[in-house]
Amino acid sequence: MLELLSTDLLWWHWIAFGLILVTLEIFIGTFMLLGLGVAAMLVGATDNLFKTSIETELTLWLILSLLSILLWFKYLKNPRVETTGQSNYTLETLGTVEEAISANARGKVKFDAPVLGNTTWFATSKEDIAINSRVKIIEIKGQLIEVANI
């Protein structure tokens, strides 16, 4: 089988294979086939310049393909970070009281960074907190945020 491929497989077949993979990437959109296609085109260019054997071509394509996949997952893939929902706050988020908060009553707090997509929230506290006091989040309870003096 390798003898048949080595006599019939020319450098431009690798280029065509790479172009097919890159074209398929347009419809899939994962960027996985892009690396495989570029690797195939590099193998075609190498075969055209150095007249390599089929074993060398396949090995080179395998190595370049694996490198492109590793690079994609390690450096190029953008991890999607959600900025909404209940996972984008930390208990260290600080804010300033805009409406005084009486013990176990509501007040209003403006946070330095958005909490659940908004910077101003109604808040409760187990203690009295005056206006312009700095507070931190203790717990989020539905639409209310429990805060405490820092």
Q: What is the pLDDT along the chain (150 residues), one digit of tens a residue?
A: 667 666 788 999 999 999 999 999 999 888 889 999 999 999 999 999 999 999 999 999 999 999 999 988 887 766 665 544 444 456 778 999 999 999 989 999 999 888 877 889 999 999 999 999 999 999 888 788 999 998
Q: Collect all residues with Cβ–Cβ distance below 8 Å to 150 and sequence separation of at least 6.
A: 94, 134, 135, 136
In whole angstroms, give the CA distance from residue 32 to residue 94.
42
Domain residue ranges of the chain, discontinuous segments joined by +: 2-76, 94-149
In whole angstroms, give the CA distance from residue 140 to residue 146.
6
pTM of the model: 0.52
CA dihedral 21, 15, 40, 59 (to 10 degrees): 140
- What is the reported pLDDT for 58? 94
Q: Is the CATH number 3.40.50.620 carried by domain 94-149?
A: no
